[in-house]
Structures are given as C-alpha cells and as structure tokens.
Copies of this chain bind each other. A is one copy, B any other.
Amino acid sequence: MSTSAELQANSNLHPIAPLDASLLTITRAETLKPLPAPGYAFDHMLVMEYDPLRGWLAPEIKPYGPLPLDPSSNCLQYCSNVFEGMKAFLGPDGKLRLFRPDKNMQRLAVSAARMGLPTFDPDEVLKCIKKLVAVEERWVPTEAGHSLYIRPTMIGTKPSIKVGPSSNAMLYALVLPVGPYFPTASPTDAGVSLLAVGEQVRSWPGGTGGFKLGLNYSPGFVPQQRAAELGYDQVLWLLGDEQKVTEAGAANFFAVIEREDGGILVVTPPLDGTILPGITRDSALTLLRAHAAAPSSGILGLSPTLAIHVEERTLGVPELTRAATAGRLLECFGVGTAVLVVAIERIGHVVHPKMHTIEDIEMRGGLKGLGQVGRALYHKLSALKEGREQYSGWSVLCE
C-alpha cells in the first residue's frame, strides 16, 4: 500500500481527474421492472467512483443493483456517509423540474467536506443526476402532489479499519416515485402529532446537526419508536434545560404566534449548527420576508393587511406553552423536501419528569391542519415545485 506521502507525490506527478459529467456512460437494464411497492426498487442508478490515485472515474448510469463493498469499508465502520433528498415534478407543460437543485448539490459538497470525503464540482454531479432522471422518466408520477424522489448519496469506500478520512469514495444516486405526505387526507387539513423529547438529543453546539449526514438519523430511530408507542407521529427534538426546539422529525420547525399588537410572528430556530439548513426552510423564509417587505405584492396570496414578522431565533417549549395558554398559538408546521409543509396538530411534552406526565400543546381553536400562513406557503411552494409558477429562478428544468 502507498503511504499518504506517496499518494501526494503521485498526485503531483500525475494530476488526478476531477468529476466530469461529460464522461458519463449509460448502460440500460435489459429488463425493466413492474411498478414496485412504494419505497422500493428501481431500474437504474447513477454511480461515480473516486480513487485516490486516479481521481473521479467516468460516471456511469447502470442497472440498479447491489454495491460490492469491502467489509472493512470506512462507510460501514465509521459512517462517513452523506446524502441529499430532492424531488422532480412533472409540470403542466409536461416538462420535468427540480427545485433549487444547486442548493442540494452545494450542501452535499459541504457535508462531504465535513466527513473528510473527496471534493467534487457540484454542477457536474447535477448534470449526471439530470441524466439519471431522464433515463428513469417512466417512473415520474403524473398525479398531483406526486413526484420522483432523488436520493444522492456519498459513501467512504476505503477498505481499511484505520480511523481516519476515506481516501476512496462512491457518489451514487437512486430514484423512486413518491406520493404526498398524507395519501388520503387533504394536506392542508391533516396534521401530525409531535412528542417533544429532551432525554435523547439529536444535535448539539459543536456537533453535526447542521450537516446532512446519514449519522444524524439512526440515533433517532429508537426515540421515534417510543414516541409512536405513546401515540405521537414524530419527535420534536429539544436541546438543553431551556427545552430549545431544534427539529421536528426530519423537518424544520415553524411556529406562528399572534402578537399583542395583532401582528403575526412567524418564528423558526436559527442556523446555529444544531439545525439542518433546509432548502424548503430557506425558501419559506424568503417568501415570508418578501410578503413582510411588500404585503401588497400578493407573493403568498395573503391579505395585504396581514403584518407578518419573521424571526429566526431560539424558541423553547415554555414559549410555545405560554402562547398556547394565552390563545395566541395560531399554528405550527414542519417544512422539508419530504413533507413540503406539514401541519402540527399537537405537541406532547413532559410536564412532571418524575411522574412522566405528558400534556399536549394545542393550536388555537383546536386547529388540526394548516393555518393561513402554512396554507399560503404550502400552495406557493407546491406551485413553484410543480412548475406552475416561477420565483427567482428556483424552478429548474431537468434537461
């Protein structure tokens, strides 16, 4: 085996290859699959491999199948895995669109760097992903609210149990058709319940919660199961004695509170390193601020007389409880690629730790679905993602 000094010397003598989408090869599957059960199976996948001596090999689209991974692979031993979630929607013009895919690619690169994985040009990856979507076009659902979910994934494949960054890597993508978050109910009328959990902590200052790493998710499996046993759909992750809200399940959390002056406060936790910098979150904040700056613009279809105040700041369970008690908690919702905008109908939280007594925070008037702010965001973001409207170049043709 070469030492890292030798690898370095080699790479100086023989420049290694950058990721280059123009080298993409496509090998089509000989037989295509029947429509699989939701969440499973696909015809093709995109695979890009990185070797420390040669750099990025030519990207390949090939029949979907198992990846042969050495049992000592860095990704299996130390979890140097990162991923992204994107959706391709069919527009009214019959064209496929992605939503701010450059943001996903940039975040993927940032996540990879945090894990010490090889670097790449995000634009080249996006080009290859668009080709994969084109090859898999027959999977794109035509029903409203349905889409082709895309899962870019990058894993460290160095075959060694040495504790350290992986010199080898594989960047791959798979696709699968997905429906809306609520298969039967109207997404603006249905909601989820959250159990606020502080005993297990998803993220911490100086931790990795601000990156989209695979390793941020599995520690939540068991707490999520416990929440389900107690009758809650998802976990609301808390941090510290102040019971600061970080994330809701795998979505960013928003609360809408009526201010004493009659204005509407829309508050979401800040990007302090414990929160995933969600692209739907960023889009929602941008649209809300556009309304706040020019209420008469009608950007969100909200009343021009509605004074919205947007705040990115720490938000704790005590503040939510006080607002609910005062009848000023108008709505809470989660936003993300998977859920788009999902109403939170109640938040269970432990009020007497020793007795394990759980009380629910409810919305004003017992609201179960989205309120006016959540609905406005849901409709606007749907229109943008589905290509029915355009804003600031966010909807990108997938071609």
Task: Report whether B214 and A77 are in contact in the complex, using a CB–CB cutoff of 8 Å.
Answer: yes
**A83: B residues at CB distance < 8 A:** 77
Cβ of B71 and Cβ of A68 under 8 Å apart? Answer: no
Interface size on A, residues (CB 8 A): 62
A147 within 8 A of B: no
Interface residues of A in 71-95 (CB under 8 A from B): 71-72, 74-81, 83
**Copies held by the complex:** 2
A37 to B163, CA, bound (A): 16
Contacts of A165 in B (CB 8 A): 221-222, 225
Asked if A67 is an interface residue, CB under 8 A from chain B, the answer is yes
- The CA of A45 and the CA of B159, in the complex, are separated in Å by 14
0 or 1 for each of A142-183: is its CB under 8 Å from B? (1 = yes): 000000010101011001111111000000101010000000
Shortest distance in angstroms between A215's beta carbon and chain B's nearest beta carbon? 4
| A391 CB contacts on chain B under 8 angstroms | none
Task: Determine whether A393 belongs to the interface, using a CB cutoff of 8 Å to chain B.
Answer: no
With contacts A66-B69, A207-B201 taken as known, whether A37 is within 8 angstroms of B1 at the C-beta atoms is yes
Residues on B with beta carbons closer than 8 Å to the beta carbon of A218? 74, 78-80, 115-116, 156, 213, 215
Q: Taking CB as reference atom, which chain B residue is nearest A41?
A: B159
Give A69 to B81 CA distance when docked, in angstroms: 14
A232 within 8 A of partner (CB): no
Given known contacts A67-B68, A71-B174, A200-B206, is B80 in contact with A116 (CB within 8 Å)? no
Q: Provide the bound-state CA to CA distance between A258 and B250, in Å.
A: 50
Q: How far is the CA of A39 from the CA of B160 in the complex (A)?
A: 6
A192 to B235, CA, bound (A): 42
If A67-B68, A225-B165 touch, does A76 touch B77 (CB 8 Å cutoff)?
no
> Contact at B221–A115, with CB atoms within 8 Å?
yes
- Report B-chain residues with C-beta under 8 Å of the C-beta of A215: 78-79, 214-215, 218-219
Q: Which of A1, A37, A74, A215 has the most CB of B within 10 A?
A: A215
Given contacts A64-B71, A80-B218, 17 further A-B contacts (CB under 8 A): A1-B37, A39-B162, A67-B70, A77-B81, A77-B153, A78-B218, A79-B217, A116-B221, A151-B161, A164-B224, A165-B221, A200-B207, A201-B207, A204-B207, A207-B207, A215-B215, A215-B218
12 contacts between A and B (CB under 8 A): A39-B160, A64-B71, A66-B71, A79-B81, A80-B221, A114-B222, A115-B219, A115-B221, A116-B225, A163-B224, A164-B225, A200-B207
Interface residues of A (CB under 8 A from B): 1, 37, 39-40, 45, 64, 66-72, 74-81, 83, 113-116, 149, 151, 153, 155-156, 159-165, 172, 174, 176, 198-201, 204-208, 213-215, 217-222, 224-225, 250
